[in-house]
């Protein structure tokens, strides 16, 4: 049996009345998402060494940037497929077995990247890792939303998504530790498979899911995890399609704009005469530690902000400032310390919006479609974002194109996100749809 949420009296802190089991679920979901993020980011932080070795070209060759974005597009496509598949299976099979399957998938195939020697091998393995990554998010986000009481849901979901920062830090430290020996960083990716033992022992299916499953089995309720119903029902279809567009803005801008903080740093250091090897190491620190720290603060801030001013207004506020902060970060800093300072705010606003997906998407769908709908939004957004990655790779590889100009142009995605949010409902203070 799942522990029932305790009610909290007015004036209490959001965590008042949260049970031990609810904290346990949050801890497990956070651990899964942290390693999820590690598997996502390890390529971004080792791609120069990986592509240099496999392609046999210098690390300064423009083809490195292009292939980097192409592989990220493959990763987004794999995340889309995995998110749609495992989101639906989480509604049909249950949260626990699907979480086990996704964690095993991303950890095992990440570890196998250690043995890759050809570009096609890396592409296949990154696609399979992404399937697990995309599926795990949909399951964990739904689980946290269902287990926590209404007054604590936004804060808990925000904390859940913010732990991705810990995964990025782990990836950054792994990248710095292995240096040019990139294979060792992927071998570390097998560690999350141990999390499966904890999931199997500690997690129970939420009461809302067991009720929906029982009703579906006896014919008293709708079928679980049905894409047909998701896209045929006018209300759920509207939420799914608009949510997908909102996620596409965040994911496309993340891979096209946010992760470019590393390249911005490397190019600034190169312009000031720093040796390529030192510039690469300093760029990893700037993106993986400093910018990511700002992003972590942004993710943690989204929950309290959306409790105070609402989900829609928080999305609009952060995307407006993100649109403004990108050209400032690209063009104003003239020294490495100045850029580090700017990257804190760059990370805060461009990464901070992502916590809203874990909070908002599960609130848009009923019990029998929650993981399916949330997975469709977040991971359907990945396939749209993949097209942004292809555009980003083409744009950054244009002869004579200034990296700062290309990043600023890609930041025009943020106003599109503001427009999308305008047409979505406000879910602040409302119970999850039944």
**146-162 per-position pLDDT tens digit:** 999 988 999 999 999 99
Distance of alpha carbon 149 from alpha carbon 157, whole angstroms: 11
Q: State the helix-helix crossing angle for 311-331 and 261-271, rounded to 10 degrees.
A: 20
Q: Which residues contact 36 (CB under 8 A, 6 or more apart)?
A: 106, 132, 133, 136, 137, 164, 167
Per-residue pLDDT averaged across 124-130, rounded? 94
The whole model's pTM is what?
Answer: 0.83
pLDDT at 85 over 50: yes
- Lowest-pLDDT range, 66-80, 185-199, 227-241, 370-384? 66-80
Among residues of the chain, what percentage have pLDDT more than 70? Answer: 97
More confident call, 1 vs 322: 322
Distance of alpha carbon 87 from alpha carbon 147, whole angstroms: 17
Residue 403 CA: distances (Å) to CA of 42, 62, 150, 323, 392 = 22, 12, 44, 17, 10
Residue 282 CA: distances (Å) to CA of 45, 78, 327 = 12, 30, 22
| CATH 3.40.30.110 is right for the domain spanning 20-422 | no
pLDDT at 427 over 90: yes
More confident call, 26 vs 388: 26
User: Tokens at residue 51, please?
Assistant: 């592509």
CA neighbor of 163 nearest in space, from 22, 342, 292, 16: 292
pLDDT at 267 over 80: yes
| Residues 225, 88 contacting (CB under 8 angstroms) | yes
pLDDT at 3 over 70: no
pLDDT classification of 2: cutoffs 50, 70, 90: very low
Distance of alpha carbon 324 from alpha carbon 331, whole angstroms: 12
pLDDT at 263 over 70: yes
Distance of alpha carbon 47 from alpha carbon 36, whole angstroms: 18
What distance, in Å, lies between the first and last C-alpha atoms of the chain?
A: 20
User: Tokens at residue 96, please?
Assistant: 């626990």
Ordered by start, the domain boundaries in the chain are: 20-422
């Amino acid at each position: 049996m799942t522990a029932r949420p305790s009610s909290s009296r007015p004036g209490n802190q959001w965590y008042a009345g949260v049970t031990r089991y609810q904290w346990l679920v949050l801890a497990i979901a956070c651990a899964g998402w942290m390693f999820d993020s590690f598997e996502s980011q390890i390529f971004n932080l080792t791609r120069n060494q990986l592509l240099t070795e496999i392609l046999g070209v210098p690390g300064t060759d423009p083809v490195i940037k292009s292939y980097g974005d192409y592989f990220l597009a493959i990763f987004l496509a794999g995340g889309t497929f995995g998110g749609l598949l495992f989101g639906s299976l989480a509604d049909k099979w249950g949260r626990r077995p699907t979480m086990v399957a996704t964690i095993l998938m991303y950890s095992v195939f990440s570890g196998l990247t250690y043995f890759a020697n050809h570009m096609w091998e890396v592409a296949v393995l990154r696609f399979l890792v992404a399937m697990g990554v995309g599926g795990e998010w949909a399951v964990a986000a739904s689980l946290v939303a269902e287990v926590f009481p209404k007054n604590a849901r936004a804060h808990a979901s925000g904390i859940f998504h913010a732990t991705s920062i810990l995964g990025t830090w782990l990836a950054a430290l792994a990248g710095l530790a292995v240096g040019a020996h990139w294979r060792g960083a992927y071998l570390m990716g097998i560690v999350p498979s141990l999390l499966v033992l904890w999931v199997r022992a500690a997690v129970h299916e939420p009461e809302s899911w067991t009720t929906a499953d029982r009703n579906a089995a006896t014919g008293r309720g709708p079928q679980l995890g049905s894409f047909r119903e998701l896209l045929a029902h006018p209300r759920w279809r509207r939420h799914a399609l608009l949510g997908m567009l909102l996620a596409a803005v965040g994911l496309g801008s993340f891979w096209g704009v946010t992760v470019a903080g590393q390249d911005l740093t490397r190019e600034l250091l190169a312009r000031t005469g720093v040796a390529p090897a030192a510039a690469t190491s300093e760029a990893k620190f700037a993106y993986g530690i400093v910018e990511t720290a700002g992003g972590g603060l942004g993710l943690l801030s989204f929950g309290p902000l959306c409790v105070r001013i609402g989900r829609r207004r928080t999305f609009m506020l952060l995307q407006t400032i993100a649109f403004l902060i990108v050209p400032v970060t690209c063009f104003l800093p003239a020294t490495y310390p100045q850029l580090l300072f700017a990257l804190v705010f760059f990370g805060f606003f461009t990464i901070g919006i992502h916590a809203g997906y874990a909070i908002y998407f599960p609130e848009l769908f009923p019990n029998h479609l929650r993981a399916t709908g949330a997975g469709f939004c977040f991971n359907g957004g990945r396939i749209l974002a993949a097209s942004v990655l292809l555009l980003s790779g083409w744009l950054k590889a244009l002869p004579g194109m200034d990296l700062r100009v290309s990043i600023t142009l890609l930041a025009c995605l943020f106003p599109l996100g503001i427009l999308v949010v305008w047409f979505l409902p406000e879910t602040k203070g409302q119970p999850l749809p039944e």
